[in-house]
Homo-oligomer: A and B are copies of this chain.
Amino acid sequence: MVTIKEIAEMAQVSRSTVSRVLNDSGYVSEEAREKVEQVIEETGYVPSQYAKSLRTKRTKVIGVILPTIQTETPSRIVTGLGKELEEHGYQILLANTNHDKEKELEYLDLLKVRQVDGIVLIATNTAPNLIEKIKELPIPVVMIGQEAENVMYVSYNDYDAARTLTSLFIQKGHKKIGFIGVDESDKAVGILRKQGYYDEMQAHGLPVEENWVQKAVFNIDSGYDAMKKIHTSEGVLPSAVFAVTDRLAIGAMSYLKQEGLRIPEDVAVAGIGASEISQYIHPKLTTIDYQNEKAGEEAAKQLLSCIHSKKVKEKMILDYRLIERDSV
């Protein structure tokens, strides 16, 4: 492998001079620069990143921890991150936990060892030990999707989004509205969205029956099962169901259609996430767009600012957009 030393010898200058043209730093005569550049061109020399990092303590690598890469939300976020980071010469080091919360912690350590310049955590929970670890870390960390004290984050307006959607149902004349949520360990999706639903119902003096509110996990089948439970439970059936994700909504619709129920005439359905498929299923799903790519971009910006120790606004809550289609 060709090194800076050899380039220096071939160009008949010192290593420092080569380094200077490489980094555009300090003074270097036009003559010397041309000579060096020519030699670099000829040899196809590329500087060693790890030697460089050893000196500068910067790797230009950002670690990204995510629960899965197989659903749209994290994929879009990573795309956004990638776009923004690439422009600044940063790369992404991927750490996929496959929904294993233990690994979230492990990766936080591992990425430190890997000496990344910063970390983006696509968060699914805000467990105290996780937040503790983030604060202890000597490198900047930005969370996406969850909020926590004294931590940088980019999050969505889950509470208002849930109220907006519930409000839409009410506006369309629905009074009996069901809810398919997820576990409360996920504060953003499990608590905030549910709270928005409850509060909006209450604000309109609408009752919520226990049977209408089901807990699911993050997959389509689980949405199906939850809808089934709501449908087969005793008592009054809701005329509308709010699922906290599009996939859950799709599962619910799948059940309803199978039972011969019409959407939205018999039961209206809405989700959150603006998944690509939501506009191709029948009926087209009413949902909320969260601007995931933008979340990624903003998180990257925050992180880079922090790395370059500019002043940063530590938190950011993104706006959302209601997409009214045919399922409500």
- Chain B minimum-CB-distance residue to A47: B113
Tell me which residues from 259 to 307 in chain A have a Cβ below 8 Å from any Cβ of chain B. 276-277, 280-282
Interface string of A50-83 (1 = CB under 8 A from B): 1101100001010010001110100110110011
Q: A48-B54, A54-B48, A91-B94 are in contact. Are A257 and B277 (CB under 8 A)?
A: no
The digit string for A170-202, where 1 denotes a CB below 8 A from any CB of B, is 000000000000000000000000000000000
A49 at the interface (CB under 8 A from B): yes
Contact of A251 among B70, B112, B280 (CB under 8 A): B280
How far does the alpha carbon of A309 sit from the alpha carbon of B251 in the complex, in Å?
48
| Candidates B50, B68, B76; contact of A59 at CB < 8 Å | B50
The answer on a CB contact under 8 Å between B250 and A280 is yes
| Distance in angstroms between the alpha carbons of A242 and B52 in the assembled complex | 53
- Identify 10 new A-B residue pairs, CB closer than 8 A, beyond the known A50-B59, A91-B95: A49-B113, A50-B53, A50-B54, A51-B54, A54-B54, A75-B75, A78-B96, A82-B96, A92-B93, A254-B280
Minimum CB–CB distance for A213 against chain B, Å: 23
Q: Report yes or no: A75 in contact with B79, Cβ–Cβ below 8 A.
A: no
Interface size grouping (class) on chain A: 35 or more
Q: Which residues of B contact A86 (CB under 8 A)?
A: 96
Taking the nearest CB of chain B, how far is it from the CB of A116, in angstroms? Answer: 10
CB <8 Å contact, B72 and A79: no
> Could you give 13 example pairs across A and B, Cβ below 8 Å?
A49-B115, A50-B51, A50-B53, A50-B54, A69-B82, A78-B94, A78-B96, A79-B96, A86-B96, A92-B93, A92-B94, A250-B277, A281-B281
- State whether the Cβ of A321 lies closer than 8 Å to any Cβ in chain B: no
Interface string of A81-111 (1 = CB under 8 A from B): 0110010000111111010000000000110
In the complex, the answer to whether A93 meets B96 with C-beta atoms within 8 Å is: no
Chain B residues lying within 8 Å of A70, measured Cβ to Cβ, are: 72, 75-76, 79
